[in-house]
Structure 1
């Protein structure tokens, strides 16, 4: 009986001797490809096709107006002084296409806008650690920028 109690105490102490536990937020993280269009004249919709190792996934890109941080104001100069900022539209569009199974390797991406003309680029998605290395990797994701002639390039 004494042997069992002693073993239980040793196991209980050993369980508390490891690395401190990290609290990782339970947030969603999409796997896919983002698209940024600074000059969207004539663009209202986009479809993205991503292909790798003979496998292709086609997804709509949900485009939204882009914005950036405008003027900021602060009520003081101290570290506890409240500050505010407003968002200002840039005139551009941005969106994201969910691409299930997207690998962290070279992917051929073809984007078609309203006119249906294909625009193609190669991109290598990457994993990120949005909550730090202790919480593991998420993704992968990639981002593309659309130039004035609708050419694609990795961001």
Structure 2
């Protein structure tokens, strides 16, 4: 009979967890603004991004330093622990805060600047910022924000994430 007690207890715990309506929401927030991803080889020259974001007849300006981007490396495991290192890419990324950013179409004028603050690219694109759910939809919406990508050829587009 003792052999059945452990599996029965485990099953009861699993059913209790599965039936629970409790949602755990962390204090993770979602920044309000515009994220910029710059692809190589253009990223090698770009040090910062300036943006003018316009809606309803007014504009907000923001600036973002650009930092090296990474991708997941090879997974390594030792016993019960596994890890993945970050591997640098030749791309860069940054984020500019834009308070009051609406969840409807806005115009973004992006200027990439080099280390000497000289413009190396200027483009304008229409984007639609979206609210984000960093803890899932049951924990409330954060944001809104938009994600831009500057392709290697200088094309500026709105990205899904």
Q: Could you say which TM-score interval applies, normalised by the shorter chain?
A: 0.7 to 0.9
Q: Does residue 1:45 correspond to 2:48, yes or no? A: yes
The C-alpha deviation readout for 1:104-125, integer Å capped at 9, x for no partner, is: 1011111111243521111101
**Stretches of structure 2 lacking an aligned partner (at least 5 in a row):** 1-20
CA contact (8 A) 1:32 1:97 kept: yes
Deviation at 1:128, TM superposition (A): 1.5
Equivalent residue, structure 1, for 2:126? 122
Q: Does residue 1:66 correspond to 2:65, yes or no? A: no
Deviation at 1:27, TM superposition (A): 2.7
Q: TM-score when scaled to structure 1?
A: 0.78
* 1:1-155 pair list within 5 angstroms: 22-39=23-40, 40-75=43-78, 81-114=80-113, 115-116=118-119, 117-155=121-159
Deviation at 1:21, TM superposition (A): 6.0
SS at match of 1:130: coil
Deviation at 1:25, TM superposition (A): 1.8
Deviation at 1:75, TM superposition (A): 2.9
The number of equivalent residue pairs is 133
Paired with 1:148 and 1:38, the residues of 2 have a C-alpha distance of: 5
The C-alpha deviation readout for 1:58-115, integer Å capped at 9, x for no partner, is: 1001211101111111235xxxx21111111001100001010000101111111124
Paired with 2:61 and 2:124, the residues of 1 have a C-alpha distance of: 13
